[in-house]
Amino acid sequence: GQNIDQPTEMTATEGAIVQINCTYQTSGFNGLFWYQQHAGEAPTFLSYNVLDGLEEKGRFSSFLSRSKGYSYLLLKELQMKDSASYLCAVMDSNYQLIWGAGTKLIIKP
C-alpha cells in the first residue's frame, strides 16, 4: 500500500530552526510537495521536489532523497505566524497526490 509518515506534532521556539521529516512508500514517484495549512484554511503551496537535493526558498528549504524515500522541510528564523500544520504529499505514478496526515507545528515565544 501507499504510505506517508510524518510526526503528528512538533514544538519549537520563536527565532529557532525546525526540521519536519516525511518518509514515503508510494506506487511510483512524480514529485514531493510540502504545503502549509492554517486552521480553517485551505493548504498553501510551499515547495516541490522531484530531484534529489535541497531546494531553498527564503526561510524555508526542502530536501529530498528518492533512494531513501525521505524528505524534510526546514524552517529557519521561526515566527509566530509559522504555527500551522505542514502537509507532505507525494504524487504517484498516476499523478495522484497521496497525503500525509500533517505535522502540527507549535511556536512558542
Closer of 50 and 54 to other proteins (Cβ): 50
Q: Which of 31, 55, 70, 74 binds other proteins (CB under 8 A)?
A: 31
The answer to whether 45 contacts other proteins (rule: CB under 8 A) is yes
Q: Is 44 in the site for other proteins (CB under 8 A)?
A: yes
Least Å distance, CB 32 to other proteins, is: 11
Q: Which of 22, 17, 6 is nearest to 79 (CA)?
A: 17
CB 9 within 8 A of CB 107: no
Cell 526558498 belongs to residue:
57
Binding test (CB under 8 A) with other proteins, winner from 68, 101, 106, 108: 101
Query: Cell numbers at residue 38, please?
Result: 492554517
Q: Taking contact as CB under 8 A, which single stretch among the options 55-63, 66-74, 75-83, 95-103 is the one that binds other proteins?
A: 95-103
Q: Which is nearer to other proteins, 1 or 109 (CB)?
A: 1
Among 12, 22, 33, 90, which residue sits at the site for other proteins (rule: CB under 8 A)? 33
In degrees, rounded to 5, the angle at the alpha carbon of residue 69 between the alpha carbons of residues 72 and 12 is 20
Q: At which residue does the C-alpha cell 505566524 appear?
A: 81
Q: Cα 38 vs. chain centroid, distance in angstroms?
A: 14
